[in-house]
Structure 1
Amino acid sequence: MVPWTPRPHRDDVRIAVGGLLGGVLLWVLGAHPRGSAESLVLWRASWVALVPLAVTAACALLRRTSPRAGLLIGTAALALDTVTVGSIVTVVLYTDLVYAAVLYGSPATARRMPWVTGMLTVLGGVVPAAVGRDPRWLLVGVAVGVVAFAPAATGWVVRNHRDAAEAARLRAGQTALLAEVDRTQAVTAERARMARELHDLVANHLSAIAIHSTAALSLDDPKTSKEALAVIRENSVEGLAEMRRLIGVLRAGSADREPAAIPTLEGLAALVEGARANGMDVRLDAGHGTVPAPVGLAAYRIVQESLTNALKHAAEGAVEVRLRRRDGRLDVRVDSPYRPGDTPRAPGSGAGLTGMRERAALLGGEFEAGPEGARWTVRTVLPLTEGDSA
């Protein structure tokens, strides 16, 4: 079975055909580098010079696909050319084979060729001239340098530039890929942040609206219905205000709108008062002092979501909110009455627990939520450092 050989490049075909036709034309015109009277010419028949010409032209077809094989065969053809009347095109094609062997060959070949051809140049010219004290040998060294060392050195320089350009292109591609990954991660993180903010801002008010509207529809008591409608209206207005504040955050860069204020732990008292207005028995025990803004925002949102969950799911009884600062951490704990099997007073999606866990994780904190006897406990520990806060 004949092994598969890659097709030669179209430029290599042009070089081979052009070199062969040019060499034949010079042969027809009788332009031979060496005359038949020279003693070194063994084959005086001029047509013999066409053999190394044809072989070297054929080797040009291998300059990209098999540069090493092309160089070895071309070297044999050049040796044959030296004992004929010769063809200048054969020499030119051979210099191209040396150049191609360095440019397209293996890295090992590319490294060795300039050294080998340089040594041949010295051994072929300088050493004989020094030993035989005949300066004419220097011309032999110059000829070897022109035919072998010069194209090898040129190929080495071009290859280095090509490799450097390819490495730069790969680095640019990797940089663009990393930038795209960073952009995607940033967009994903921003979408998650917006989802948490939207849930925390609106869920509390909508839950209160759902619970009190259910009470107004199920109880045939004008006074109770009026009180429920008042709570519904209050939560609707506050929910609308929260939505406007969220839009202000999203449009903080606009010239016609100032950024909305970020909630802090100083607003917990107002948050608890709002929960009490919704009918909850909430007790606040806050001893936190001054905390970094990211920690304060996360703690505020966690308490807010915990109160919302208590409004929807907690049994009858008091809800306790406690904040303590100890050992460089802020401990946030919300306890509410818990009775397994109770039906929620308002539907939920479970996104609240996910959002609280994400907020704690972004600050390198800890989050736990689950039943402890007859109480449902939400506990979060947040480090009081702004190092990697997002």
Structure 2
Amino acid sequence: MSSGTQLTDAAQRVLTRFRPPAWLVEGALLALAGSDQAMRLGTRTAEPGTLAVALLALLSLPWRRRWPVPVLLLTLPALAAGGMWLASMIALVRVALETSEATAALCGLCVAGGVLLDRAFFGSPFPDTPDWLRVEVYAALAGAGPVVLGRLMRSRRRIAEQLVELARSRDRERVAERTAVAARERAALAREMHDVVGHEMSLIAVRAAALASSSSDPAVRKEADLIRELSVRALDEVRHTVGVLRRPRADDAAPSARRLADITALVGRSGLVARTVVVPGERVRWPAAVELAAYRTVQEALTNVLRHGDSGRPVEVRVESVDDDTCLVVEVRSGRAAGTGEPAGGHGLAGLRERARLLGGDLAAGPVPGGYLVRAAFPAPGETLVGTPGR
């Protein structure tokens, strides 16, 4: 378990340990404050004023979380005139928990003064306290005890919040570190691709151009020109991929990323007999990652046709928006004979499946009656173009 997770768990334990339900706490405190008043009434005459201020104190206690100081002030008459200590002490704990030290100290003095007034006008509720020294000790405890308890609870809450914030800070640091490591790895991969693959593709293009210019055979020159064109195109793809790898975030699409509009040209360059239908939707703009995934799906499917299929048989490429422009479907149907199965290795299709899965979609490939079908669906909602009749 990581240190950040341990800190988070520790903070949650601090926050939740010994925390009963709120209704149970409120009921217990009200019962305690009411029993305190009932005990006082057993030794004093029940006057209407005393009962009124006691009832006011009890009714105000549930509001101490929202208005701690006003609630404390409402309990002071019951303390000074009726000897209702516990209601004021309960309210004072909340004051010390929610307010500043100066406010808590001042309110503590008010509670202590209320105890002294209760002793001066109504006599001590404790039969074994004949002198004022003991009464002052009781007053000091009644005023300082709740303040100390409230400040301790405040410190505990702050410590728990700091633990949670520290855990979140650790998590952010780990995410930043992983991002930096991934950026360094992408940069190293980009350099390797540029130095090795780019260099070899450049040599192929140069050699093919030299062969085309030196050969007297028209067929050889035609094939050499085709090889040079393909190598130059592949070199452009390598440069585009290197640019993507060097971007700060791997999921950011480069401005030169392939789009749906490039699919028709891609099919035309393949040399296959193909029928292409691209209907991306009239009122939607698809995310760049979705359009690039659709382009790569068509590209890989056409490559598999050239490698393993009958390039003389027609191919149907269809890209369309379905389900009210919330899903982009790509289908490439080739004329391979049914039952031929997936191409050996299947690494290209496996990569396409992973790309589709990361975008929330899926990809299926297999034989169908009359040929072979590659179908991908990307359920990524596009950006609706308001007031635009077409793309």
- TM-score w.r.t. structure 2 length? 0.47
Tell which structure's C-alpha radius of gyration is larger.
1
- TM-score w.r.t. structure 1 length? 0.47
